[in-house]
Structures are given as structure tokens and as C-alpha cells.
Amino acid sequence: MSLIKIIVILLAGISAGFINTMAGGGSLITLPLLIFLGLPAAVANGTNRLALLVENLTAVTNFKVKGYFDYQFGLLLALPAVIGSLIGAQIAVSISEQLFNQLLAVIMFFMLILILWNPAKKMKSSEKIFSRKRKLISALVFFLIGIYGGFMQAGVGIIIIAALSLLTNFSLVKINSLKVFVVAMYIFTSLSIFIFNSKVDWIIAILLALGNGTGSWLASTLAVEKGEKLVKLILTITVFLMAGYLFYRSF
């Protein structure tokens, strides 16, 4: 493998890890790159998931060290998401790629509106957020998110941020800490399937994981130090770029 190829993979991983931790959609950088480098689509998907696992575990650790993580609530969200992801992986695609891309672009804009408006800020009682009813609703929502994540990974981070914005009055920094934990849990499950079927290029996966992990560490550190304004800015830019890209691809 040439030095230029190694550098390109590392830089793509750093960019994707940063974007994924702050918002979501970083795989729109890495997946096309891996396919361009000659990997079959399934191998590119599996290889990318190893990098995503390392990326999210790195972010979880950094958020935990800085005091922005709740394991109990994280597990409540992650377990139904894992079950849902197994179901989603089995669902056959029934719509055209063109229609799917158009719908996803619209969803991204809708999610951005919800995140920026954040009606959950109007809820002042933290007890209401952690009531039994609210926890059951959260588990159901993340079961459905897991189905989507198993079916199509792209944009799931933004959907998780929007869901937690509606379900809690947490800051975007804490929401991101929960998001990376949930994604790490169900990515691990799906990655095992790719490994079992020999759909991972381990050399590229390790290089990409180093990049993703670095980008994730930088993003989680900046999110804590700079706060919600920086997260909102990067999230907004990411959503507009993703939606524009998806619309472009659909025509």
C-alpha cells in the first residue's frame, strides 16, 4: 500500500470520526472512498463498521472521563436499539435508491428543525424525563431507531440527536455522549456478522479506525470545551451538506 493511500485513508477517517461524533453522516465520506479504492460494496461496509466501532468507543470513553455520560440511561436506549438493528438488517429494500435518497434528504432537514427548535427545553421537570412512562417511550423509540440503523446506517446519528432532543432536556453535548454509546452497541452486533462472512479488509479497517478514533476524540473534546453552540453549528452544516448530496445523487 502506497504512502499516499495510507494518508488519504487516515485523513478520511479523521474527518468522518469528527463529523459522526458531532452530528452524523461521516460514512458518506468513507464508504465512497473505500469503494473507489477497489473494495467490493459489502467489504467496504464491513470495513467501515470496524472504524465506526472504534470511533464511538473512543468518544464514549472521552465523554465518560469528562463527566458527560449516564450508563444506566445509555443501556436503556442501547438494548432495544440492538434488537431493532438485527430486525432492520433483515428487511429487504422495497423502494428505489432514487426515492430513498430524496426521502432521506427531506428527513434530514426535518430533523434539523426539531433539533434547533428543541421543544424539550420547555420541560423543566427532570423527574418527568425519567418517569417509567418516559423510559418506556424512549425504549420503543430506540427500538425503531435500531431498525433504521440496521437497515441503513447513514444519518442515524442525526435521527438519534433529534429523538433525544424531544425525549429529554439534555444539552446537545450530553445527547452526543448517549448517541455514540447507542451506535457503538448496535454497530458491534452488525460488525460481527460482517466478520463472520469475511467481509472486512483488516489492514484498511485498522488504518481507517485510527483515523476515525482520532477524529472522534477531537470532536468529543471540542464538544465538551466549546459547548452546545459549536455542536449546533457543525450539525447544521452537516445536515445541509448531506441533504444536498442526497438530492444531487437522486437526479
The pLDDT assigned to 126 comes to 44
pLDDT of residue 175: 84
Alpha carbons 246 and 106: distance in angstroms, whole number:
9
Secondary structure class of 235 (helix, strand, coil): helix
Q: How far does Cα 204 stand from its chain's mean position?
A: 20
Q: Given phi > 0 = left and psi -120 to 50 = alpha, else beta, which region is 173?
A: alpha
Distance CA 150, CA 66 (A): 30
What pLDDT, on the 0 to 100 scale, is given for residue 240?
A: 74
Q: How far apart are the first and last CA of the chain?
A: 35
Closest by alpha carbon to 187, among 81, 63, 87? 81
Cell 461496509 locates to: 45
Residue 93: predicted pLDDT: 41
Which position has the grid cell 467496504?
Answer: 44
Cβ-contact 181, 69 below 8 angstroms: yes
Could you read off the pLDDT tens digit of each residue along the chain, which spans 251 residues? Answer: 788 899 999 998 998 888 877 767 777 778 778 888 888 877 887 898 899 899 888 888 888 877 766 777 888 889 999 999 888 766 634 556 566 556 666 766 766 665 566 544 544 444 445 677 778 888 899 999 888 877 766 667 778 888 888 887 777 778 888 888 998 888 888 788 788 888 899 999 999 999 999 988 888 787 666 665 666 676 677 667 766 766 666 56
What angle in degrees, to the nearest 10, is found between the helix axes of 172-196 and 132-151?
50
Is residue 247 exposed (0-12), middle (13-18) or buried (19+ Cβ within 10 Å)?
middle
pLDDT at residue 198, as a whole number: 87
Coil, strand or helix at 136 = helix
* pLDDT given at position 143: 93
What pLDDT score does 91 carry?
63
Write the burial class of residue 208 (CB in 10 Å: 0-12 exposed, 13-18 middle, 19+ buried). buried
- The span from the CA of 167 to the CA of 179, in Å, is 13
The 8 Å CB, 24+ separation contacts for 225-232 are: 227/171, 227/173, 228/171, 228/172, 228/173, 230/22, 231/22, 231/23, 231/172, 231/173, 231/176, 232/115, 232/116, 232/172
Please name the residues in contact with 61: beta carbons below 8 A apart, sequence gap of 6 or more.
none
Q: Which pLDDT score, from 0 to 100, does residue 243 have?
A: 67
Angstrom CA distances, 217 to 22, 67, 179, stand at 11, 15, 15
Distance of CA 55 to CAs 79, 145, 209, 229, Å? Answer: 19, 20, 7, 22
H-helix or E-strand containing 219?
Answer: helix 202-226
Q: What is the pTM of this model?
A: 0.70
